[in-house]
Structure 1
Amino acid sequence: MASHGILYGVGVGPGDPELLTLKAVRHIEEADVIAYLAGESGQSQAKQIAQVALDRRQPELDDIVIGMPMSTQRDAANEAYDQGVTLIACALEQGLDVAFLCEGDPLFFGSFAYVMERLIHRFKVQVIPGISSVHAAASALQHPLTVLKESFCVMSGRHTHEQLSDALKRHDSVVIMKAGRARPKILQALRETQREADAQYLEHIGRDNERIERNVSQLADDNGPYFSLFVITRQERGTR
């Protein structure tokens, strides 16, 4: 293994390039090969966020681009990961260090987790943490996620209506990530649990098209963008 390259999972943060850590920038600049996911249009959010660091590189090798179909079917996604991992493994076997760019934090709802699980038993892996969209949302709202003894829960829009409703009833603070197609279901759960007034909504945090909606009753009851989330906290926080 000593002659193999190292796989770095590099968190590039939620969208604002200035939120890249110094360590992330260094590993991007020093890596032999850069890898990242790209959508069906060929665009990569992670690459766009890290572009300032990428511009400082003098690349000698092509990037490894993993085309990811926007589908709820995991078979297609797993096939894409398998193909990308084959290319990454080939580079690592040649002694090349690979930096895999991942939005937010690599191991918090991060795509790098699926790459790492396929390679960690064969190669050395290091993870460079990044700022998550959850913490960026709290900063954008200038609103604490939790205080004192409040309970806190992070969920995905992929959870069922029943699971979302249960979390909203049980926890003081709830963040629902990857709202996108689940936005109608989330709005319904907020209304049914009487947490609508506690909720705030964000899209594309830290990017030019950032949107913040503090009154979620104003949201259209239809699908939103993939990069969106809800932050739900108690209005009256008192001295819990």
Structure 2
Amino acid sequence: MTQRGIIHGVGLGPGAQDLMSVRADRLVREARHIAFFRKAGKPGQARRIIDGMLRADAIEFAMEYPVTTEIPTSDPRYADRLCGFYADCTAHLAALSAAGEDIVVLCEGDPFFYGSFMHLHSRLAGIAPVRVVPGITGMSGAWTASGTPITWGEDVLTVLTATMPEDELTRRIGDTDALVVMKIGRHLAKLRRAVAAAGRDDSAWLVEYAAMPDQRVTRLADANAIAPYFSILLIHGQGRRP
């Protein structure tokens, strides 16, 4: 019997090749099969990060989301379409593994932190061997870009997504010492209101494209009305220090 190939979920870090781990770099450069997520009609951020690193005979498999923001996440059609999409991707990767082929699945940031690879990982369990290579998270790249530590002493750090209801955002923003908010995009106006209602607008920063060529760090009050996809909000902790 053919030995099954390994499916590697490889964390690429926040967006720069030189912030990838040595293991991630090696796997990407040696891979014959490369898979990555992207929005239809776009090259894909993960694919952009590793541009110029692939071997000449690498076979690429672009996994294009059938829906992103066109349908609300509360609409049953959203889950139905994504479930079918992940099932198709899983079948393709499992077939390659069954044929003895190793595959590298590119993951922005860390594969186990708000990443699409998690949905493949849960479906591939028991079907194919899977290994995960951790990566520097986007939020780590963001607070590094801000030039200020995110936590001190016993500060409590809370990580939220801006997709949450506004009242829940307000409550959690007010309850924590340090804050990271991800998945902002079209939710920026709601997030602004929640930050203001929690009384934290003077200490909120927006980091766009952390560790990428277009990196930009601004106070939330001075940010544009629409945040790009790769945006993270920060509120730095002010805890105990010597």
User: Counterpart in 2 of 1:86?
Assistant: 91
User: Counterpart in 2 of 1:46?
Assistant: 46
State yes or no: 1:141 paired with 2:164.
Answer: no
Matches within 5 A, 1:1-240: 3-54=3-54, 57-59=55-57, 62-68=59-65, 69-71=67-69, 72=73, 73-213=78-218, 215-220=219-224, 222-234=225-237, 236-239=238-241
Structure 1 Cα separation of the partners of residues 102 and 222 of structure 2: 48
Q: CA deviation at 1:239?
A: 4.5
Q: Is the 8 A contact 1:14 1:103 kept in 2?
A: yes
% same residue: 29
Q: Is the 8 A contact 1:64 1:88 kept in 2?
A: no
What is the TM-score when the length of structure 1 is the normalising length?
0.91
Structure 2 Cα separation of the partners of residues 105 and 193 of structure 1: 30
Distance 1:153 1:2, change over 3 A: farther
Q: Secondary structure at the match of 1:63?
A: strand
Structure 2 Cα separation of the partners of residues 114 and 75 of structure 1: 14
Give the partner amino acid of 1:67.
E
Q: Is the 8 A contact 2:205 2:217 kept in 1?
A: yes
Give RMSD over aligned pairs. 1.8
Bigger shift: 72-81 or 100-109? 72-81
Q: Is the 8 A contact 2:154 2:240 kept in 1?
A: no
Structure 2 Cα separation of the partners of residues 74 and 64 of structure 1: 22
Q: Is the 8 A contact 1:108 1:132 kept in 2?
A: yes
Structure 2 portions without partners, runs of 5+: none
Q: Is the 8 A contact 2:34 2:105 kept in 1?
A: yes
Structure 2 Cα separation of the partners of residues 225 and 58 of structure 1: 33
CA deviations on 1:201-226 (whole Å, 9 max, x unpaired) are 0111122222211x211224x43211
CA deviations on 1:61-108 (whole Å, 9 max, x unpaired) are x31111113234233222222221111111011010010001000001
Give the partner amino acid of 2:141.
A
Bigger shift: 44-53 or 98-107? 44-53
What is the TM-score when the length of structure 2 is the normalising length?
0.91
